[in-house]
Amino acid sequence: MKVHFLDEIPAEDCSLNKHMALKSVHMEGKLDGLMLEMNVLQRYQNETKAPLEMVYTFPLPWGVTLLGMRADIGERQLQAQVVAREEAHERYEEAIDEGDMPVMLEASDEGLYTANLGNISPGEKVVITVQFGQLLHFEEDRVRLCIPTAIAPRYGDIRHVPRLAAHEAPESSLTVSYPLTLRLDISGSPAQAAISSPSHHIAIEKTESGLTVLLEKGAFMDRDFVLNMDGIKASSFAVSAADGENTMLLASFCPRFNEETRNPLALKILVDCSSSMQGDSIFSAREALHNLLSMLDSDDAVSLSRFGSNVMHHGSKMHFCSPNKIRELSDAVSALAADMGGTEMKGALISAFRDIAVPENLEGTPGVLLITDAATWDVDSIIQACIASGHRIFAIGVGNAPAESLLREMTEKTGGACELVTPNEDMSGAVMRMISRLRLANAGHLQVKWAAEPLWQSPLPSFIYNGETVHVFARQSGKDARAPALIWHADGKEYTLSIETVARLENSSLERLGAAKEMAGTEMPEDRIRIALEYQLVSENTSLFLVNVRDEKDKSEGLPGLHHVQQMLAAGWAGYGSTVYSHAAPIGSSSDLNGMMFRRGGALRTGPDVAFDAAMYEIPAFLRRAPQEEYIASEAEPEHGYWLLGQMLADFNTVSISESSEMESIFSYDEQETDLLESMMEEPELFDVLHIWAVTLDWLIRRFRQHFRLNRHAHRHLRAFIKSIPKTEKEEIRRRVEQHLSDLSWEDLEISEAEL
């Protein structure tokens, strides 16, 4: 993700973004026991004088199930339907061409979603309501709710996220401000808890059914909303709901272990010292490690490593924790700084797995404790490396907007555990809970004893932890649901936890939450699509879609300009301000900034009246008209010039166009390319040169579609431009191009993997 700074943005690139399309966000929901249902209302308005397509990529909590989307457009209220992803794309483009207003919501990556709103008319207001459901967990005697609001800048290549198109990639700005309001009704056992928020100022009101939590004025979309509910007695329960002719059952077990068992620690500590960790995050990391060191005993074995663009180990092997070793490690922790560049997490983890020697008398494989803000796009390969290593990963996520999905995925899939800690939360408590998990005897080999064999059951975790909820879904035949029991083994013994009764839920989303788990665990793509369509679930293969069909007189003409809704820069990211003890109060207390940064109206700014906006994607130099520049061929370039076509194909895919009238600057080429033009066309002067290049590009896309896919926004502009070419001219150009390039291979284009 790119963060735009004032001196980087040419004035001519700011025209479209003077008016923020996203006006505010309101969240409203209910928490009944551990089941959360939340509506997120995003309010948009087009304040320009031309139709806009608004694209907003935003985060939702890890593990949520998207339940629906509604659009309020004037007096109309439209409900979205889940359709196959390809169908949604086709219908979206058809609606754009017809001048109607489509809305499409897609899952872009784990925890990230993209809303596309097409053809918003000048002055038009639109409210999109996104509904999701989530199951929370007991962690000993507390429940923690975290709702992310901003995507902090991440290190690495956005192409690691294949479902996120170039024009949908999130960008951060220092000047945009999106007000946030929230109302949460709480009932059941969480309503009896001691409730606090380390992230925001809140007000709590008693109601007949429990409590209502409200955000106080002055909150913005620049940090995760965190609500802690402490002092609850963790309990097990089971609920069921109708699932067609069958029953969907959720069993939520909260096992308790013998806490007298105490195992020595064997831990490889890996701490993120990349640049994004500056400020609050590195302070939290040092605090976590000092707390950890104070809890170590002489029979515990640890190592310490730090990483950024590279990894540095404090010694080549694990050491038992003598007083001298603790003092040595404490000095190293105090010296930690966020000065190591990028977040090359995968290489650092692999080095920790491989290069840190383990004492001969240490039994088993040590765990890895990772402390990081997880600000990287390279999610899938990191998780695969962790799984392949055989190490269990325990993670502490720090900062106001850590990438929760990466941390949760890597810890869940390796049998570890995760704690997220904002700058104002109790770090010692988080470290103590993590140490408690590590010291207890491993509890695994789980199975659920059902009264009757289920038709389907969700996967069980490899390990469970004391007082922490294990949710298990099952589909049972018929209408009756009987209570199950959880069986596990620890310390050479077998344990059983039974649930006595099953509560029946009416008008709930339980069957869809269960179906989402079933879909996630299904290997065959066709089965995942079937489940998604049957239960109306958003997945990598399905999207939410609706279209506002306009009256003929209200239809948009031409193509809409693109407005990319930017992220507010996450509070405290990379040392830009501090949020310690400030909640939503003014930032500016960071001594590193010498008072240069401050918050006005909730948005982090570099001066009292600074106003700048995000640059549109820059048109590659190769595709810009520049007659004054002389092209000089390289000796390494082949004489046939097909590399030029390959470069055109790769470069065009990165282009995001704000105005359809700018097409000339996209397709125009200098006269220096006439050699290729002459060889392709035979008398190219008979045709418009822009038409030649447009038809050639379209031919290449069709020819090599198995290797290359043009992003949706660029393809729309190409399609619209080609429609304007007279039919006879278009057909003749295509005939000549195909005749000359009939033997062209993908390798001839010389497009490197890095350019795709």
pLDDT recorded at residue 755? 56
Q: What is the pLDDT of residues 445-458, one digit of tens each?
A: 999 999 889 999 99
Q: Which helix (H) or strand (E) holds 701?
A: helix 689-703
**pLDDT tens digits, one per residue of 95-106:** 999 999 999 999
pLDDT at 239 over 80: yes
| CB-based contact 306:336 (threshold 8 Å) | yes
Stronger pLDDT, 665 or 213, i.e. the higher one: 213
The whole-angstrom separation of Cα 511 and Cα 590 is 48
* Residue 74 pLDDT exceeds 50: yes
- The pLDDT value recorded for residue 606 is 31
Least confident of 230-244, 480-494, 647-661, 705-719: 647-661
Partnered with residue 444 across adjacent β-strands are: 463, 489
Q: What is the pTM of this model?
A: 0.85
Q: What is the dihedral of CA 238, 241, 244, 246, to 10 degrees?
A: 30
pLDDT tier, 12 (very low <50, low <70, confident <90, very high otherwise): very low
pLDDT of residue 281: 93
Say how far apart CA 436 and CA 262 lie, in whole Å.
9
pLDDT at 720: 81
Sheet containing strand 210-215, edge to edge, reads: 76-79, 65-73, 125-135, 35-45, 22-32, 180-187, 210-215, 202-206
Cα separation, 32 vs 190, whole angstroms: 8
Out of 3.40.120.10, 3.40.50.720, 3.30.465.10, 2.60.40.1730, which CATH number does the structure's domain 3-233+538-564 have?
2.60.40.1730
Amino acid 62: pLDDT: 93
* pLDDT confidence of residue 637: 42
CATH code of 266-421, in short, is: 3.40.50.410
pLDDT digits (tens, 9 = 90+) for 252-279: 999 987 766 678 899 999 999 999 999 9
pLDDT band at 369 (very low <50, low <70, confident <90, very high): very high
pLDDT number for residue 693? 83
Q: Compare 611 and 167 and report the one with higher pLDDT.
A: 167
C-alpha dist (Å) from residue 101 to 120, 506, 550: 7, 35, 7
Report the pLDDT value the prediction gives residue 663, as an integer from 0 to 100. 57
User: What is the predicted pLDDT for the residue at 675?
Assistant: 66
Q: How far is CA 727 from the centre of its chain?
A: 44
Taking the C-alpha atoms of residue 54 and residue 404, their distance in angstroms, rounded to an integer, is: 26
Residue 632 binned pLDDT confidence (cut-offs 50, 70, 90):
very low
The predicted pLDDT at position 247 comes to 95
Which pLDDT does position 664 carry in this prediction? 59
**pLDDT at residue 360 greater than cutoff 70:** yes
Average pLDDT, the chain: 84
**Which of 60-69, 503-512, 550-559, 629-638 shows the lowest per-residue confidence on average (mean pLDDT)?**
629-638
Band (598; pLDDT cuts 50, 70, 90): very low
Residues of the chain with CATH 3.40.50.410: 266-421
Q: Which ranges in the chain are annotated with CATH 2.60.40.1230?
A: 237-261+440-498
DSSP, collapsed to helix, strand or coil, labels residue 413 as: helix
Residue 620 has pLDDT above 70, yes or no: no
Give the pLDDT of residue 11. 35
CATH class of 237-261+440-498: mainly beta
Rounded Cα gap, residues 618 and 470, in angstroms: 49
Structural Rg of the chain based on CA atoms: 28
